[in-house]
Chains A and B, each alone.
Chain A
Amino acid sequence: MRTRLAGYGFIGLGLLIFSLLICIGFGSVHLPAGEIARILLHQLPGLGRWIQPDWSVASEQIVMQVRLPRVLLGLLVGASLAVAGSAFQGVLRNPLADPFTLGVSSGSAVGAAVLIFFGWQFSLLGIFTLPVVAFLTGAATLWIVMWLARENGKIPIESLILSGVVMQSFLGAVVSFLTAMSKRTINEILYWTMGSLSLRGWSYTAILLPYLLLGGLYLWSRSRSLNLLALGERQAAHSGLNVESTKLAVLLVATLMTAAAVSVSGVIGFVGLVVPHMIRLVTGPDYRLIIPLSALGGGIFMMWSDLAARSLLAPTEIPLGVITAFIGAPFFAYLLYRKKKAREREMR
Chain B
Amino acid sequence: MIEVQNAAKSYGRLHALKEISWKVEPGEFWGVIGPNGSGKSTLLSLISGIEAPDHGEISLSGQPIASYNRKALSRKLAVLQQDGLPPVSFTVREVIEMGRFPFLDWRGREKDGHAEKLMQSIMDRLELGDLADRQLSSLSGGQRQRAALGKVMAQQPEVVLLDEPTTYLDIRYQQQFMELVAGWQREEGLTVISVMHDLNLASLYCDRLLVLNAGSLVAMGAPSEILNSDTMESVFDVKSHIVAHPDTGVPQLLLQKDAKNGWSEAGD
Contact = CB atoms under 8 A, between A and B. Distances in A.
Interface in A120-168: none
A241 B88 contact: no
Contacts of A286: 90, 94
Contact of B79 (A228, A238, A288): A238
A234 B70 contact: no
A224 interface: yes
Nearest to B137: A285
B240 interface: no
A217 interface: no
A240 B154 CA distance: 12
Interface string B49-83: 01000000000000000000111011100110100
Interface stretch (B98-106, B199-207, B246-254): B98-106
Contact of A239 (B88, B94, B102): B102
Nearest to B91: A284
A283 to B, nearest CB: 11
B75 to A, nearest CB: 7
Contact of A231 (B70, B74, B88, B155): B88
B108 A224 contact: yes
A61 interface: no
B119 to A, nearest CB: 14
B102 A231 contact: no
Contact of A240 (B50, B74, B85): B74
Interface size class of A (residues with CB under 8 A): 10 to 19
Interface string B117-148: 00000000000000000000000000000000
Interface string A220-246: 010010011011101101111110000
Nearest to A242: B70
Interface size class of B (residues with CB under 8 A): 20 to 34
Given A237-B50, A239-B101, A239-B155, A230 B70 contact: no
B12 interface: no
Nearest to B84: A235
Contacts of B151: 239
Nearest to A285: B89
Contact of B81 (A227, A230, A234): A234
A292 to B, nearest CB: 14
B158 to A, nearest CB: 14
A221 B98 contact: no
B194 interface: no
B42 interface: no
A286 B88 CA distance: 11
Contacts of B106: 221
B50 A234 contact: yes
A109 to B, nearest CB: 35
6 contacts: A228-B98, A231-B88, A234-B50, A285-B89, A286-B90, A286-B94
Interface of A: 221, 224, 227-228, 230-232, 234-235, 237-242, 284-286, 288
Interface of B: 48, 50, 69-71, 73-75, 78-79, 81, 85-86, 88-90, 94-95, 98-99, 101-102, 104, 106, 108, 151, 155
Given A239-B98, A239-B155, A240-B70, 9 more contacts: A227-B90, A230-B88, A231-B95, A235-B86, A239-B74, A242-B69, A284-B89, A284-B90, A285-B88
